[in-house]
């Protein structure tokens, strides 16, 4: 019976002859294998040729002629679209990382083998700054993976001149890169596309600077947005588009109008060749809405718009892009009750108003809100004719008078000067209280200036009207001294009517101090020597009264003015 022979694991794949030459065949093949293995030095960190044995889900098995097969991650053999770029039986070069892993197999890498092969080329490109061509194959943490014959890393900051969020759009694209860093020991390669773009930008910059002129309309890309404007890339040089030159209308923030990456047409407003500064305008390439504002917004036209700003003095209404009108606080209400617009209006509200005036030169449109409402002053003017009487309640007391509520949309004013004919310093708070009912006479209704005035003293006759009849010049009076001053003595002739005895009229003798002659409360005999009804002044003289008495000019008794009854009626000399 012939001897059987079982092929050992290390000899699988070799032919075995069973028979009388088995021992010879076995010896020959074994010697050959030992010789080949002895001739090859499997050292970690070197590149070896191998054959693809099997392709699994996670690893590819490679035979490099060692006693164990090696494993390579299947990810190293994938195209950017996920397809495999090898097949079983294919010969490839791999990098030996470890002779034996925890699982007992070789640890191999195709990528590192390719990197080692490409090091000379990569080193030269890095030193000389020459570009390399590669294809973006995948998005990785912090950037992109690029195939330049080997896998290289493109950081996110080096992808473009401007920060970019959407990296997926670069996958599959073939572009030029610069090698900015590499580590042969670790097998790391860092690329930059931004460096290539900056070089191109530098070449374009000189061309643009030589061609640029004020007034030109050019295309650019929004590069950066700030609170005060946006920087526009004109293809080699940046220009500033200030927020005030973005739109004819109001722009709250540049980001409300523009986005980074937008391509726009702008006008070159100013160019400083020495400082290489360019000022741009976006609204200047659009029609100026104010050119037709005079025709569109005539006085009396009703318009609708949105409140864009509320101020203490009024509200601004956006009527169209670049066209705003102002409703002044004085044009909000016929009654003037709107004092603080912020309490009645909010930004963003829709509102209707009437055009009052258009000033195209100064870009101003005056609007009115009260003009859309009935004017209450028209009805008040008819209801309260001048000279008629009205009753109402004291609504509020102020320094200069008091406002009376008549049950109308507007309040009437009684000025302090219209409270009494004779009292010069009326203390309103002592004589009147809020809520008190009063009767007064209508003095005026000024519809144009929105003023409604009443008077209380006008309900009685002005005592000064016939004062010269009751107290003609030359009348001898007896009155009480109510005030003594440095320049004379005041005496009360009637209720609220006083006369002045000047210091020079107190005595025939020289008087240094009036109080040496007359004291407050003294009864004084004096003569009326002058009357000024307009100024409401009466001059008296003790000297004249004494002289007349001595000369016998008057035989009658002087008019007494001290009693209340005397103060309420006029007296005449018989």
Q: What angle do CA 11, 12, 18 make, to 5 degrees?
A: 75
* pTM for the whole structure: 0.42
Nearest Cα to Cα of residue 530 among 510, 505, 555: 505
Last residue of a domain, one of 259, 285, 311: 285
Q: How many domains does the chain have?
A: 6
Please determine, for residue 11, whether its predicted confidence score (pLDDT) is greater than 60. Answer: no
Verify that 455 and 434 share a domain, yes or no: yes
Q: Which of the given ranges, 72-86, 223-237, 238-252, 477-491, has the highest pLDDT on average? A: 477-491
Verify that 70 and 104 share a domain, yes or no: yes
Please determine, for residue 210, whether its predicted confidence score (pLDDT) is greater than 80. Answer: no
Q: Over the stretch 441-479, which tens digit does the pLDDT of each residue have?
A: 999 998 888 888 999 888 888 888 888 888 899 889 999
The reply to whether 2 falls in a domain is no
Verify that 442 and 402 share a domain, yes or no: yes
Verify that 478 and 563 share a domain, yes or no: yes
Q: What is the secondary structure of 345-404 as a DSSP string?
A: --TT-EEEEEEEEEETTTTEEEEESGGGS--HHHHHHHHS-TT-EEEEEEEEEETTEEEE
The CATH number assigned to the domain holding 83 equals 2.40.50.140
Q: Over the stretch 319-367, which tens digit does the pLDDT of each residue have?
A: 888 888 999 998 888 877 788 898 889 988 999 999 999 888 888 899 9
Give me the mean pLDDT over the 538-565 stretch. Answer: 69
Verify that 451 and 471 share a domain, yes or no: no
**How close are the terminal C-alpha atoms of the chain, in Å?**
186
The reply to whether 368 falls in a domain is no
DSSP state of 215: T
Verify that 300 and 342 share a domain, yes or no: yes
The reply to whether 237 falls in a domain is yes
The upper half-sphere exposure of residue 136, i.e. CA atoms within 13 Å in the direction of its Cβ, equals: 23
pLDDT of residue 34: 47
Give me the mean pLDDT over the 537-556 stretch. Answer: 78
Q: Over the stretch 276-311, which tens digit does the pLDDT of each residue have?
A: 788 998 888 888 888 888 888 888 889 999 998 899
Verify that 82 and 25 share a domain, yes or no: no
Verify that 447 and 389 share a domain, yes or no: yes
Close Cβ partners of 291 (under 8 Å, ≥ 6 residues apart)? none
Query: In terms of residue numbers, what domain contains 71?
Result: 47-112
Verify that 473 and 549 share a domain, yes or no: yes
Q: Over the stretch 370-403, which tens digit does the pLDDT of each residue have?
A: 888 888 888 888 889 998 999 999 999 998 999 9
Last residue of a domain, one of 436, 459, 482: 459
The reply to whether 147 falls in a domain is no
Last residue of a domain, one of 242, 260, 285: 285
Count of beta carbons in the 10 Å neighbourhood of residue 487: 9
Verify that 342 and 429 share a domain, yes or no: no
């Amino acid at each position: 019976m012939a001897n059987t022979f079982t092929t050992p694991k290390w000899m699988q794949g070799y032919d075995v002859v069973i028979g009388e030459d088995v021992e010879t065949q076995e010896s020959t093949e074994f010697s050959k294998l030992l010789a080949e293995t002895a001739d090859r030095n499997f050292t970690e960190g070197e590149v070896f040729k191998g054959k693809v044995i099997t392709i699994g889900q996670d690893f590819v098995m490679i035979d490099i002629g060692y006693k164990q097969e090696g494993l390579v991650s299947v990810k190293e053999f994938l195209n950017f679209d996920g397809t495999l770029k090898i097949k079983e039986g294919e010969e490839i070069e791999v990098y030996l990382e470890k002779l034996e892993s925890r699982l007992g197999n070789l640890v191999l890498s195709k990528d590192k083998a390719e990197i080692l092969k490409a090091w000379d080329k990569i080193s030269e490109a890095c030193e000389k700054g020459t570009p390399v061509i590669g294809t973006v194959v995948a998005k990785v943490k912090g950037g992109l993976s690029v195939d330049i014959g080997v896998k290289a890393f493109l950081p996110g900051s080096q992808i473009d001149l401007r920060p970019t969020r959407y990296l997926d759009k670069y996958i599959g694209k073939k572009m030029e890169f610069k090698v900015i860093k590499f580590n042969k020991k670790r097998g790391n390669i860092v690329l930059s596309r931004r460096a290539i773009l900056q070089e191109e930008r530098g070449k374009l910059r000189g061309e643009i600077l030589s061609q640029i002129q004020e007034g030109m309309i050019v295309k650019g890309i929004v590069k950066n947005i700030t609170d005060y404007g946006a920087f526009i890339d004109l293809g080699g040089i940046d220009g500033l588009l200030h927020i005030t030159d973005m739109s004819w209308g109001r722009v709250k923030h540049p980001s409300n109008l523009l986005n980074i990456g937008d391509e726009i047409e702008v006008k070159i407003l100013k160019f400083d060749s020495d400082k290489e500064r360019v000022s741009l305008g976006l609204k200047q390439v659009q029609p100026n809405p104010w050119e037709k504002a005079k025709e569109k917004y005539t006085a009396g036209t009703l318009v609708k718009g949105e409140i864009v700003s509320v101020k203490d003095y009024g509200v601004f209404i956006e009527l169209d892009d670049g066209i705003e009108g102002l409703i002044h606080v004085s044009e909000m209400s016929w009654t003037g009750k709107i004092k603080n617009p912020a309490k009645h209006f909010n930004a963003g509200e829709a509102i209707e108003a009437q055009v009052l005036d258009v000033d195209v030169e100064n870009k101003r449109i005056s609007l009115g809100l009260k003009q859309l409402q009935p004017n209450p002053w028209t009805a008040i003017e008819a209801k309260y004719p001048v000279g008629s009487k009205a009753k109402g309640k004291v609504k509020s007391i102020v320094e200069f008078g008091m406002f009376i509520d008549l049950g109308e949309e507007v309040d009437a004013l009684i000025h302090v000067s219209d409270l009494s004919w004779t009292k010069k310093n009326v203390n309103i708070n002592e004589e009147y209280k809020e809520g008190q009912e009063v009767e007064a006479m209508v003095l005026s209704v000024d519809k144009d200036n929105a003023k409604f005035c009443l008077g209380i003293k006008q309900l009685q006759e002005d005592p000064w009207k016939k004062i010269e009849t009751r107290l003609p010049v030359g009348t001898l009076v007896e009155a009480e001294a109510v005030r003594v001053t440095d320049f004379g003595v005041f005496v009360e002739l009637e209720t609220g009517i006083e006369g002045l005895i000047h210091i020079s009229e107190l005595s025939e003798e020289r008087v240094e101090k009036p109080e040496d002659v007359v004291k407050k409360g003294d009864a004084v005999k004096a003569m009326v020597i002058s009357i000024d009804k307009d100024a409401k002044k009466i001059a008296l003289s003790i000297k004249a009264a004494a002289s007349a008495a001595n000369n016998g000019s008057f035989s009658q008794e002087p008019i007494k003015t001290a009693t209340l009854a005397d103060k309420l009626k006029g007296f005449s000399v018989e």
